[in-house]
Amino acid sequence: DIRLSRRVTAVRPSPTLAVTARAQQLRREGKDIVSLGAGEPDFDTPEYIKDAAIQAIHRGFTKYTAVGGTPELKAAIMAKFARDNQLEYHPNEVLVSVGGKQSFFNLCQALLDAGDEVIIPAPYWVSYPDMVILAEACPVIIDTDAAQHFKILPEQLEAAITENTRFLVLNSPSNPSGVAYSRSELEALGEVLRRHPRILIATDDMYEKILFQDQPFVNITNACPDLKERCIVMNGVSKAYAMTGWRIGYCAGPEALITAMNTVQSQSTSNPTSIAQVAAQAALEGGDSAVHEMVHAFRRRHAYVYGRLQSLPGVNVLPSDGTFYSFPGFHEVMQAKNLQDDLILAEALLEAGVAVVPGSAFGSPGHIRLSFATSDKNLEMALDRIEQFVKG
Ligand code: PLP
């Protein structure tokens, strides 16, 4: 028997990927399954982005680059932060990584020791707690529910803080809940954080561009500019430009922290793929018309999915502010059908022909995450099946 590390045995494999695998297995067995499990846009990467990468190959841009990203891509990222977020950074405060996932991994490795705590609001993106555990630190989960629109309250934050707290994670708009914090909600959290000057804040803005409201995006550095020195702003091209497979994420923050994260990256992956960096630069410099087209489709599909779910008895759904997810509560349905937990609910829905991700994967049992990053036809079919299941 191979003795594995304590570190790795404490970590769960990604539950979202497990659902996809199970749905594929049923499909191979000939079952007709509509998948609402996707965590990525169903659109193709825009043509001008692909062209930039192809040209990069032809001109031989196929060697190592600087570990933390090419100067050209960093310049495009700095311009993006200035343009979209009113944030000024120097190149030494910016790091490009192999997806947003590696940005957060680097952060945990650079910042955390055994006994440290990281405050993570639930429902959360599945990887946060496990990456904290991989760094031998302790996730401290703040539970939220639909009544508080899945957003943490200042008093909850205050109560979760201890001497060991190293940082707080904010993800808005949120995967999986789809909700976004308002400026005043962020200001209220900022007041708590001002009382605890040692605590850093990681703001994961990965879904920044996928917003349905007309107000501009705000993160905590916009709401509380005095906290910028304690913030690490995380973003990437995966969701905004339909580039999940290219694996480019980026972040910006205090130079000492970014330098330490760069060191972690230098001894693990080194630079992200040279060609993908050129593609990401083209994405960030190419304007947002392709993004707007996608958001238009997501907004329309959201209205459809939200409307259908709202009409279902026993289903408790909030409108999403952005992302391509809806996160309805199925507590009453589960009770009526005598289903013990949301894993059993997800399995029953799979039998009914729809793949979804159970809410407990995100730390919020009794819910399911539906992705509307799929065609209108699939959404209609899936919602018909869910309706039949709920009413049947
Ligand atoms: N942050 C959030 C909230 C996400 O949902 C994801 C992807 O699912 C990521 C970060 C990481 O994205 P990637 O590593 O694909 O760039």
293 Cα: distance to centroid of ligand 1 (angstroms):
21
99 Cα: distance to centroid of ligand 1 (angstroms):
7
pLDDT tens for the chain, 392 residues long, are: 999 998 898 888 776 677 778 888 899 999 999 999 888 999 999 999 999 999 999 999 999 999 999 999 999 999 999 999 999 999 999 999 999 999 999 999 999 999 999 999 999 999 999 999 999 999 999 999 999 999 999 999 999 999 999 999 999 999 999 999 999 999 999 999 999 999 999 999 999 999 998 889 999 999 999 999 999 999 999 999 999 999 999 999 999 999 999 999 999 999 999 999 999 999 999 999 999 999 999 999 999 999 999 999 999 999 999 999 999 999 999 999 999 999 999 999 999 999 999 999 999 999 999 999 999 999 999 999 999 999 98
The SS3 assignment for 231 reads: strand
| 244 Cβ closer than 6 Å to some ligand 1 atom | yes
Cα–Cα distance for residue pair 339/331, rounded to 1 Å: 9
pTM score, two decimals? 0.96
Q: CATH top-level class for 63-285?
A: alpha beta
Cα–Cα distance for residue pair 226/236, rounded to 1 Å: 24
The residue written with tokens 């230098």 in the block is: 266
Number of other CB atoms surrounding residue 63 within 10 Å:
7
The full set of domain ranges for the chain reads 6-44+289-391, 63-285
| 249 Cβ closer than 6 Å to some ligand 1 atom | yes
- Give CA angle at 338 (177, 352), nearest 5°: 65
Residue 66, burial from CB neighbour count under 10 angstroms (0-12, 13-18, 19+): middle
273 Cα: distance to centroid of ligand 1 (angstroms):
18
Cα–Cα distance for residue pair 352/371, rounded to 1 Å: 17
Q: If one looks up domain 6-44+289-391 in CATH, what number appears?
A: 3.90.1150.10
Q: Which atom of ligand 1 is nearest to the CA of 247?
A: 16
Contact in structure between 229 and 201 (CB atoms under 8 Å): no
Contacts of 171 (CB under 8 A, 6+ apart): 121, 124, 125, 203, 204, 206, 207
| 204 Cβ closer than 6 Å to some ligand 1 atom | yes
As a 3-state breakdown, the chain gives helix, strand, coil percent values, each rounded to 5, of 45, 15, 40
